[in-house]
Amino acid sequence: MRGMALVSAPPTCDVILALDVPSRAEAEAFLDRIGGDLRWVKIGLQMFVSEGPDIIDAIAGRGHRVFLDLKLHDIPNTVASAIRSLKGRPCDLLTLHAGGGAEMMRQAVAAAHEINPQLNLLAVTVLTSFDEAGLAETGVVGGAATQVERLAALALQTGVPGIVCSPQELPALRKKFGSGPILVTPGVRPAGSEAGDQKRIMTPREAAVAGSSFIVVGRPLLQAKDPRVALAAIRAEMAGSC
């Protein structure tokens, strides 16, 4: 089974396409447009619910590595069982919510090692659509940065090897936890792009310099007139930054 070995230092920063489209047909049409130079594809909840788990095999079968972004959050046994149900699927990265707690994450780590020791779990800390006011509405005090560090520490203590965070939290996380954790950052927008519903954003170069392992980019590629050119431009911006 394909997988990415746990890392002791962040890899060269790379781009993950957030393939947030409604159907497999649209997904494959877009992948044809962007070409084979794209290494990583994120399958989100919309695509997974629409097409089912076979979409993992379809994307991987085209030569891409799969980041399955389901943000699992449930009682520990349910999350562990969901992960075990992915046995045999070519999935390299998988998200769960750190807010599910230590026991949920410990059981998730055990389940991931059971089905594939190289499957890397990523703990989602604070969604990039949240700002300080939004967090306060949910009862979280201390702001996004404090909450991200709190949840990141909890996740790493349970054996989860990676964190999903806003690029703005990257410097603090690298300072506190070093080069070991995989840090995956959505909320990245090339200079001049619209922010959309993302609140805590950076440019690709800023995120790379700050220590991101992978940047996740959706609409700036999906809406590009020529996605191959757009991907090359993002990589050029990042070049020499990691």
- The residues carrying an active-site annotation are 71
DSSP result, 109-150:
HHHHHHH-TTPEEEEE-S-TT--HHHHHHTT--SHHHHHHHH
Whole-number Å distance between alpha carbons of 211 and 200: 16
- Exposed / middle / buried, residue 229 (Cβ in 10 Å: 0-12, 13-18, 19+): exposed
Among candidate residues 190, 196, 145, the one with its CA nearest the CA of residue 172: 145
Angle, CA 202 vertex, CA 196 and CA 204 arms, to 5° = 105
What's the CA angle centered on 235, arms 46 and 92, to 5 degrees?
45
**If you search the block for the tokens 């998200």, which residue do you land on?**
95
Q: What contacts 81, CB < 8 A, 6 or more positions away?
A: 111
**Under a CB-based contact definition with an 8 Å cutoff, are residues 208 and 170 in contact?**
no
CA distance 208 to 240: 9
d(CA 153, CA 230): 35
Q: Give the list of residues 6+ apart from residue 193 with CB closer than 8 angstroms, or none.
A: 219, 220
